[in-house]
Structure 1
Amino acid sequence: MSEDGERGDNGRVPRKQAAPRRKLLMSEILEQATQLFAERGYDGTTLQDVADAVGLSRPNLYNYVRSKEELLVAMVEATSQEAASSLRAMRQRADLDPTQKLRALVRELVLQRANNPAQFRTLDRSEQALPSDIAERHLDSRRAVLREITGVLDEGIVAGLFRPLDSRVTALSIIGMCNWVAWWFHPAPAHPAEPVAEQIAADAVAMVVQVDKRRPSAPTPLGAVALLQQDLDYLARLLRVED
């Protein structure tokens, strides 16, 4: 037995065993690196620190990661790019209406933040210190998340299911609500993440849903102006879609 696991007669780790073990060990490396970055900062952490935390020698660590920058890339992929990809897939589902899509997107985003809080907090705190290429990847992924949620809101507004709100401002508000979970939520057997995700998803839908489309029989002058503004906003969105 070695640090890499059991080996076959030819001295190599059987392929069926190697892939799962590599994935598990890489997850452990990323988890330990995240904790170290959070405690000591990115500049204050060395690859030797990571190797010691995982229980590997420095040469063996090089079999999995060659630099601290690679660890940051892996964190961005796991925290930002994975979120953008999963949200994009949900938005493209033809079997869901905009209300169902919004609920699913928010639920997914909350669960990702709740299940990987240290990675999200570390990236959030380290944004200004990230190498430029990694910072650009992170920013692109954040923009993609905003784009997916804004797109679903626009779909719902055009369909008449959501109120004609400013979709970008509303999307940023919803994302902020999801992101904050990484800071205040602490999972426990008696306090799992799923009910929290469901509640926040329901809150997000309640923020935008068109509850009652009937007009009041005698609106006040200011109320009539507000209704007219909603109609104009709705018409403007329809015209943009047709263009």
Structure 2
Amino acid sequence: MTKSTRKTAAESTPTSGAKETSAGRPSARRELVENEMFEQASRLFAERGFAGTNLGDIAEAMGITRPALYYYVKSKDELLAKLVEEMTEGPATEIEALAADTAADPSDRLRRIAHLITLQRASQPSRFQLLLRSEADLPPAVAEAQRAAQRGTLRHLIQVIDEGVLKGQFRPVETRTAALAVAGMCNWVAWWYHPGGEHGQSPEDVADQIAELTVAMVQQTTLRTPDTPGPKAALALLRQDLDYLERTLDEQTRDDS
């Protein structure tokens, strides 16, 4: 898209009837411009820092005037808050829904949650990096919303892994450690994945692979043999079985009470 094309799309301020669709969702034009605004803001904040970037810089990068940008956002702080909300609130709601989908087994739910997180990180790496780097600049309410979303994601991962352990689908791992490992593996994609890079993988390809690796990391195998010969390795397997038995008994006790 040329600079002049972007200017026409953004500066032709929609009339009040065209601002949103009949369903109350942003119009396609507004969504397109806001996405461009988020992309350019993320890049400039990362390059120059939040303090070193102003709305004029973002408007220039978009190929529009500063007054035209004011139609979409009134201040740099508001823009950062919108960006954080776009990165956290939507995915958090989706993750909560996936974790609560008891019609799917834990393996499928875990796979879908990992796929969702990874796809966002691979599709919008600069936005996620900015999210972490700008925590100190966030308004208190926005910062708390971000932390709540992070806690929620971890809680839902723990919930799904725990259910998989109780059903015998997953090994009796320490679920919080496993959940943190999954989150770390998905989030790290934002730093090493580059669209159109040397490996030629699309964001969807990367998300598919990370999702499968996530499930493989905790999945119970049919044949269980020690990794190394000797009594210590055999005892390690017995401890796993005892951990599973204790979790099952604890769950049964909670159900009976």
Cα displacement string for residues 133-187 of structure 1 (whole angstroms, at most 9, x for unaligned residues): 2221211111111111111101100100000101111111111111111111112
> Paired residue for 2:29, among 21, 28, 35?
21
**Structure-2 change in CA distance of 1:224 and 1:45 (3 Å):** same
CA contact (8 A) 2:11 2:64 kept: no
CA contact (8 A) 2:10 2:33 kept: no
The gaps in structure 2 that reach 5 residues or longer are 1-7
CA contact (8 A) 1:4 1:13 kept: no
CA contact (8 A) 1:5 1:13 kept: no
The gaps in structure 1 that reach 5 residues or longer are none
> Paired residue for 1:202, among 191, 204, 212?
212
Task: Name 1:5's counterpart in structure 2.
Answer: 12
Task: Name 1:120's counterpart in structure 2.
Answer: 128
Q: Distance in 1 between matches of 2:182 and 2:10?
A: 44
Task: Name 1:67's counterpart in structure 2.
Answer: 75
Cα displacement string for residues 49-83 of structure 1 (whole angstroms, at most 9, x for unaligned residues): 22222233333322211122222222222222222
SS of corresponding position for 2:157 = helix
> Paired residue for 1:77, among 60, 74, 85?
85
Larger mean Cα displacement after TM superposition, 49-58 or 105-114:
49-58
TM-score, structure 2 normalization: 0.82
Q: Does 1:187 align with 2:166?
A: no
Q: Distance in 2 between matches of 1:2 and 1:235?
A: 62
Give 1:196's aligned amino acid. V
Cα displacement string for residues 83-120 of structure 1 (whole angstroms, at most 9, x for unaligned residues): 22221122222332111111111111111100011100
Give 2:63's aligned amino acid. G
TM-score, structure 1 normalization: 0.86
* Number of residue pairs aligned between Structure 1 and Structure 2: 237
Cα displacement string for residues 118-141 of structure 1 (whole angstroms, at most 9, x for unaligned residues): 100111222234333222121111
CA contact (8 A) 1:114 1:185 kept: yes
Alignment map for 1:93-172 (pairs within 5 Å): 93-172=101-180
Q: Distance in 2 between matches of 1:233 and 1:101?
A: 23
CA contact (8 A) 1:88 1:148 kept: yes
Q: Stretches of 4+ moved more than 6 A in 1?
A: none
Q: Does 1:236 align with 2:246?
A: yes
SS of corresponding position for 1:180 = helix
> Paired residue for 1:90, among 98, 112, 115?
98
**Percent of aligned positions that are identical:** 44
CA contact (8 A) 1:6 1:13 kept: no
